[in-house]
Amino acid sequence: MNILIGAAMLAVGGILIFIGRPNRTGEHPKFLRFEAALVLYPPIVLSFIGLGAAALISSLLTR
């Protein structure tokens, strides 16, 4: 079960990174243009990646 949760959280983190990338002209997506996004978005992405990796590693080590 933890393998699926860990893989899903890593996938969500990767999707969030892909969605948050600026376009070719350097403009950020509309939801990242307000000031609080610079403070809120990176920790959300990092927590999905960190918790997903921790769940995945934990499930692989406890087999």
Record the pTM. Answer: 0.85
C-alpha Rg value of the chain to the nearest Å: 14
Query: What's the structural domain count of the chain?
Result: 1
- Is residue 5 over pLDDT 90? yes
Q: Average pLDDT for residues 25-32, to the nearest whole number?
A: 86
Coil vs helix vs strand at 36: coil
Do 50 and 9 touch, CB atoms closer than 8 A? Answer: no
Taking the C-alpha atoms of residue 37 and residue 4, their distance in angstroms, rounded to an integer, is: 29
> Domain span at residue 8?
2-22+29-61
What pLDDT is stored for residue 63 in this prediction?
73
pLDDT at 17: 94
Give me the pLDDT at residue 45, please: 96
Half-sphere exposure of 24 (CA within 13 A, CB side): 0
pLDDT of residue 49: 97
Q: Is the pLDDT of residue 58 over 90?
A: yes
